[in-house]
Amino acid sequence: MNLQYIPEVIPYIWILFLSTLIASGIATYTIVAKPDSLREPSVRAFVGLNVGSALWSGAYAIQVLSVSLQTKLAWFTVAWIGSVLVVVSIFSFAIAYTGYEKWLSRRTLLLVAIEPIFAFVLLVTRYQNLYTQSAETVSVSGLIVLDRSFGPIGLIHVLYLYSLLIVAAGFLLRMAYNSRRVYKVQAIAVLIAILVPIFANIVWFLELGPIEGIDFTPVAFVVSGLVYAVTVYRHHLLDIQPVARTAVVENMRDGFLVIDDTDRIRDANEAVRKMVSRDGPRSVIGRNVTTVLPDVASIIRADSSTDHNEISVDSGDGRRLFDVQVQPLSGEGHFRLLLLRDVTSQHAVEQRYQAYIENASDLITMVDRNGIVHYQSPSVSTVLGYDQSDLTGQFYLEYVHPEDRTRIKDVFRESLTQQDSIRREEYRLRDADGAWREVETIGRNLLGEPFVDGFVLNTRDITERKRRERELRQKNEQLDRFAGILSHDLRNPLAVAQGYLEAASERVECEFHDDIEIAHDRIESILGDVLLLARDGDVITDTEPIDFTRAVKQAWKNVDTADASLSVASDRSIVADEDRLLRLLENLFRNAIEHCGPAVHVRAETCAHGFFVEDDGPGIPDGDRQGIFEFGHTTSESGTGFGLAIVSQIVDGHGWSIQVTESEDRGTRFEFITSPSS
């Protein structure tokens, strides 16, 4: 390949190769140093722009140096491809950079590429000279240059490329005008880097250049490359993009402020503008931050740390609290970033829970693994009479009764090895007056929780409850003794009377003997029921799963059922005291036989919420159901009136509930609800 070396053109050729080197370097740097950024359309377009610039400049330099027409046309075609790549990349970059990357769909890029592809085909085929009417080499001052004249498609192609550049410039101008201060330099630099080659190309196209036939557009890429280099390294073109700002910063719920070294606001997002301004979106820009947010003055002092601080702001919806963090901007030593996070709701929750703790009747205590108190809730003053500070730093077990201390100490040591374990214990604590209060504590091992790192103790004063339990236990014991004495003292004369009745029956015929014997049997039944009432009224704590079918059949055997019949069905066990469950069933069976007749049919079954017992008798009217569990209530001449009262007491002792309804056969149905969830 023959080359021409004209001294006047050599500097121009070196500038072209320098432009190629700069553009190639920027493209290579972007690909190697910013591989993650290549996912962004704007960065890919930036790489394409520089690759096209390098291709255009390098190919044009060789085209100028070459002599033959065919060589010049070949390298002109390569430069033409580079020019199209530059323009399309500039268009794509401007669209993506200004926040409209959603427009850069494959369909859009295909539409943009249709005209260049069509023009390229006409260029290389020279079909009907539609793109280039003529192409020849001419000598200008000893330099052989390519002289071309455009055909109609060639002119349309040039205008099309200019149109894309005008659209791109419009987007960038709009961005530069509307951009916040910290991004304005970046936007203007990109616009200059694009406008300089456009201006040079217009000069060449109008044949106004200093050297006839020489296109200075590739030379302008030296300026563009230098501007790009400065913008990339100094202003972080590929790191801080207005696109990211629009998509992220403007939609942040937290406030975003950028201030300069004079404390003036250079940028603010929508959250800050809504927070402090009612004058429009730009009213805070340029104002001193201490005027807009007076409480921030102490935070942004030069000697202030970047730790979190709190300020209050009077906004349109009332006074709100913000957590403020100050950070220097990377690469922008004279700019600082203020992040404001609204913590009003968080403070409200904290204050609410603090109020719960302060007004709770229970104690909340946190001790470390050595048993030293690190936190004591304010309720300690009302429960034990201490101030919070009295217990903080003290050994918790020192306040435990000596007789309980060893047991509680053993439980505490055992819990040390059981992460997140929960234990419940009852013991005595000394109050401020030196008296002992009975308490119940639920302790949880939270040593593994970094924000707790200790044991949390929830303690409730049960002194009054324990006193009532002791009183109730004493009363029950007294009642049990009274019932036993009453039963014993009455049964002795009853036995004597029964003996005399039997002797009299053998010696004397009397029509009243049978009535007297019935009365004696009734007294015996009443005495038995009174004793059961006294004993079955206690709270039942010793329970176990009972086979319901077996219990029903056993109770049925214990009762004189005459001609009555029974059906039983069970799909679960009943947790109860077996002896008292038997007495409950026996009294229900007797009640059914006494009130419904000897041929009654009784059905007992388990159900979702417990079990039921029902009969096919006449039933109980709605108005009479309320009083059937009262002592002495009976509608039978032979009944004592204690049977259903005993049933009610056994139910209460288990903590169950009972409902009286109508059975399927319109008789009486007793439903026992044994499940707490029901």
Please write the tens of the pLDDT for every residue from 197-208.
Answer: 778 777 777 777
* Separation of alpha carbons 669 and 663, rounded Å: 5
Mean pLDDT of 342-347: 81
3-class secondary-structure state, position 498: helix
Joined together, the tokens standing for residue 29 give 């740097």
Q: pLDDT tens, 155-192?
A: 999 899 889 888 888 887 877 776 655 566 666 777 78
Predicted pLDDT at 425: 92
**What is the greatest pairwise CA distance in the chain?**
170
> pTM for the full model?
0.43
Half-sphere exposure of 266 (CA within 13 A, CB side): 18
548, 573 contact by CB (below 8 A):
yes
The listed range with the strongest mean pLDDT (101-110, 250-259, 486-495) is: 101-110
Q: pLDDT tens, 611-669?
A: 999 999 888 888 777 767 775 555 555 555 667 888 888 888 888 999 899 888 889 99
Look up tokens 């009612």; give the residue: 278
Predicted pLDDT at 281: 44
Q: Higher-confidence residue: 296 or 523? A: 296
pLDDT band at 152; cut points 50, 70, 90? very high
Mean pLDDT of 450-473: 87
Q: pLDDT tens, 425-445?
A: 999 999 999 999 999 999 999
Q: Is the per-residue pLDDT at 272 higher than 90?
A: no
Mean pLDDT of 552-580: 89
Q: Is the per-residue pLDDT at 2 higher than 90?
A: no
Q: Is the per-residue pLDDT at 121 higher than 60?
A: yes
Q: Is the per-residue pLDDT at 549 higher than 90?
A: yes
User: pLDDT above 70 covers what percent of the chain?
Assistant: 81
Torsion of CA 152, 155, 161, 166, to 10 degrees: -120
- 3-state DSSP: the chain helix, strand, coil percent, rounded to 5? 55, 20, 25
* Separation of alpha carbons 295 and 309, rounded Å: 10
Predicted pLDDT at 669: 93
